[in-house]
């Protein structure tokens, strides 16, 4: 009886899990940075709009 198929599959699953653990935080970091950048842009636009309304 040979366990080669089982061992190859186990190493494959391990490699996929290891790759996901490497990639997932980078995806999340990119999403968070984009959200922060968009929020900052919206807040700056709101501040500019408030300043213009106060001058009238």
Mean pLDDT over the full length of the chain: 91
To the question of pTM greater than 0.85 for the whole model, the response is: no
Helices first, then strands: H and E counts in the chain = 1, 0
How confident is residue 1, by pLDDT bands cut at 50, 70 and 90?
confident
Number of folded domains in the chain?
1
Q: How far apart are CA 4 and CA 48, in angstroms?
A: 66
Query: Which range (16-20, 26-30, 41-45, 48-52) has the least confidence?
Result: 48-52
Domain containing 16: what range?
Answer: 1-56
Does the pLDDT of residue 55 top 70, yes or no? Answer: no
For 17-35, how does the pLDDT look when each residue is reduced to its tens digit (9 = 90+)? Answer: 999 999 999 999 999 999 9
């Amino acid at each position: 009886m040979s366990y080669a198929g089982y061992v190859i599959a186990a190493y494959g699953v391990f490699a996929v899990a290891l790759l996901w653990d490497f990639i997932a935080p980078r995806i999340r970091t990119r999403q968070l940075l984009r959200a922060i950048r968009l929020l900052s842009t919206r807040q700056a636009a709101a501040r500019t709009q408030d300043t213009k309304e106060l001058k009238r």
